A and B are shown apart, each in its own frame.
Chain A
Amino acid sequence: MRWFKYASPQAFFPVAGKLVPWFAAIAVILGVIGLYIGFFVAPTDHQQGDAYRIIFVHVPAAWMSMFIYLVMAFWATIGLAFNTRMSSMMASALAPTGAMFAFLALWTGALWGKPTWGAWWVWDARLTSTLILLFLYFGFMALQASIDEPRRADKAGAVLALVGVINVPVIYFSVQWWNTLHQGSSINLTSAPTMAMTMLAGMLIMALAFWAYTIAITLVRVRCIMLERERHTDWVKQYVEAKQ
């Protein structure tokens, strides 16, 4: 039950600040290891040559774009249901990073698609639903920016985030439900992966690196949001005083 005290911005602010350097360090270390494996350990693919190495950033970015959306929708829903400001602030803090990863998944995917499929873009189910995910992130951010009153902005954004959640399983299952150009999953929960071990290791380490990066940057952003939204409180005034 002690965890609920972190629903107060005043309590969470210093904790977030202490966590940032740890997650930043983890992100850098895992990133270096993952890139080393990706570029110097994993062998050249016999079908795709070295173009496949984009997988070491494409899949982590795509995973993060979906995962961040789910976490964002989760916090937005908590904020909507329990009227907690801190939860809504977390949702708002997650959106820009999620949008970035959705864009990067599409960008790296296009650069991978051109040499391997012969096309920068196709309107297949997975690519289209990922583009929709990007639009949902933009919509969430634009909607919140357009509403002046913060609590109303939180609630409106939360409804949009919640409605958009259906898109995430659509992206995930798109390669099973439809006939897509995008390949099916090489990793699933029920069977052994169909990738070489070194490639899989590099990809998973990069995914964890992106995850740690996301946590670090979201905590920094939520602290900025907290200072802005809680500027009328004593604890923010004291913090500003101490910073001078």
Chain B
Amino acid sequence: MIWASWSDFFAMGGYALYVWGSFVVICGCMAGEVLLLRQQGKSILAQLVNARAANAPHKGEKQ
């Protein structure tokens, strides 16, 4: 272990703002991207399901 204590680890030798500012934003962006994509996937699927439901009664009339 290169750190004397957890508080030393979080202090990052005085550079805490810069180091954690970088890592937190990176994790945030990646997590955000994953969540956003999940949301988009659900919304596209919902749109397609609705479109199919809207078409179904019309198909019945064409007999």
- Cβ of B15 and Cβ of A51 under 8 Å apart? yes
Judge whether B45 and A115 touch: CB under 8 Å.
no
Q: Which residue of A lies closest to B8 (CB)?
A: A50
Specify the chain B residue showing the minimal Cβ separation from A58: B22
Chain B 2-57 residues near chain A, CB threshold 8 A: 2-3, 9, 12-15, 17-19, 21-23, 25-26, 29-30, 33-34, 37, 40-41, 44-45, 48-49, 51-52
A224-B41, A227-B45, A237-B52 known; A115-B15 Cβ under 8 A? yes
Q: Is A111 an interface residue (CB 8 A)?
A: yes
B22 touches A108 (CB 8 A): yes
How many contacts between A and B, using CB within 8 angstroms? 84
- Assess whether A83 is interfacial by the CB under 8 Å rule: no
The reply to whether the CB of A43 lies closer than 8 angstroms to some CB of chain B is yes
CA distance A61 to B45 in the complex (A): 31
Interface residues of A in 10-41 (CB under 8 A from B): 39-41
- Contact residues on A (Cβ < 8 Å of other chain), bracket: 35 or more
Q: How far is the CA of A49 from the CA of B12 in the complex (A)?
A: 8
When the two chains form their complex, are residues A39 and B22 in contact, meaning their CB atoms are under 8 A apart? no
Provide the residues of chain B in CB contact with A151, threshold 8 Å.
none
Q: Which of A132-140, A152-160, A165-173, A213-221 is the contact stretch?
A: A213-221
Q: Are B29 and A53 in contact (CB under 8 A)?
A: no
Interface size on B, residues (CB 8 A): 29
Stretch at the interface among A96-104, A122-130, A180-188: A96-104
CB distance from B49 to the nearest CB of A (A): 6
Question: A243 at the A/B interface (Cβ < 8 Å)?
Answer: yes
Interface flag for A228 (CB, 8 Å): yes
**Is B37 within 8 A of A227, CB to CB?**
no
**A96 in contact with B48 given A108-B26, A224-B40 (CB within 8 Å):** no
For A54, list chain B residues within 8 Å (CB). 18-19, 22
Q: A44-B2, A44-B13 are in contact. List 20 more A-B contacts (CB 8 A).
A: A39-B9, A40-B1, A40-B3, A50-B14, A50-B19, A53-B19, A57-B26, A97-B33, A108-B22, A112-B22, A115-B15, A213-B30, A223-B41, A224-B37, A224-B41, A224-B44, A227-B48, A231-B51, A236-B48, A243-B45
Q: What are 9 A-B contacts with C-beta separation under 8 Å?
A: A39-B9, A51-B13, A51-B18, A54-B18, A57-B22, A237-B52, A241-B52, A243-B49, A244-B49
